[in-house]
Chains A and B, each alone.
Chain A
Amino acid sequence: MGIMQTDRTLPANRLIFEVRRDAALRARFRDDLDGLMRDYGLSEIEQRALREIDLQTLSDLGVHPYFLPQVSRLFKGAGYNHNDSEAAQLYAQKMLKGK
């Protein structure tokens, strides 16, 4: 999958876009992800994929590639994002089978 396969209309794209821009939404992302996902109209399969940080399924559903490492940072922290950081390693594990 890649940028040409993005589903621009996928509710998860709107949720991720807005969470990065709004501290209150980030608090809800942390404390009430299920409620937040329902409010944004994510399908059951989107909800499960985001809850389980299943980046490959999110990608297959049409989440924009640019958001995928950002999802890993939303869960694991954005600072000092080197290749061995938790967020980068999560991405590697989920998208590249641990490469």
Chain B
Amino acid sequence: MEFGLTQEHQNVIAGVRRFASTELAHEAERADREERFSPETLRRMAQQGCLGSILPREWGGKGIDFITYGLLHEEIGRVCSSARSIVTVHDMVALAILKWGSERQRKRLLPQLAVGEIMGAFALSEPRVGSDAKSVEMTAERSNGAYILNGTKKWITSGQIADIFLVLACCQDKPTAFLVERDRPGVSVEPISRLLGMRASMVAQVDFRQCEIPSENLLGREGFGFISVALTALGLGRYSVAWGCVGIAQSCLDACVQYTSQRRQFGSFLKEHQLIQAMIAEMATNLKAARLLCYQVGRLKDEGDPREITETFVAKYFASRTAMRAAGDAVQIHGANGCASEYPVQRYLRDAKVMEIIEGSHQLSQLVIAKSAFQEYEQSRETAGATSSAEASLTDSDRKPEGCG
């Protein structure tokens, strides 16, 4: 299927694919084992244009379209989900500033974010607030032309390395977004380790205690932090996660095709056993379907079609299920080897599970998708009713004798 990528964008993807297949692939296992993403690899990723690629050229980005963006994230996610998630949250911050930031915020931050001079992190979740994101407990109080922030953010990807946090806090009882520099007094960062998956995504807990920020650090308007800023960012994050899941599923398929072509049991290669073929077929089919859903969302996003919001939930839901199932089968196919750190499929499985939770859990996605399905059903009924009425009136007029109207 052709999606009309420009030669320039194809070159961007090819460059990132080369980088991911070599340098990043070399880093991924070590990063997972040591639970740390190397600054040098991050710097190389920035050089490859992986960071802030969605930003327009005028701000130093690559100005790529959403389909190209998705393909980039598939390439990164195919090799290292931790790397992809670091890039994703960085881009979420950049996009939110691009869309809702003041001119001053854009000028100050976007050129630096575009080249990775500074790293961004999206600080939404809290110890007691996950999917119910509008209920954040962190507070922001106005004080002499400034805001005083108090609260704790948890599970913050890139929290250990971020220079600037996009923080959602409750201001005048309304969710409001702020930009908070890491070096502000009152900000403290505690690394979170021994996670199930995406262990090198530099996750942290970030505490804000009497943290004073100037009013110019308000992002968007008071009370619109969730509807505008957070949902804009989360939409991009969800899209990236969907493509990242396609990357994981692709890696699982590649690993299984290779492994089953080399390993023999019962006198023949594994790939010749029909029950193995069934798992490979399931993996390949779901992978293609997930990729097509992601392409569809990319096209809708590029066209500015509002349906992209619910369709992103569909793609993310299906792709994360696909990745999880593919990774589970990949471990199964690899047998005991699949449970060992020498083979990457165990990492894919751990990372895939996390993908089912982040940027909209399965259950949250299901609620949105079901609601959309009911709306589409109601709309189709109304349309059918209107069509029937029109046909009925046409039929009535047809019955009239010619010339009597």
**A and B assemble together:** no
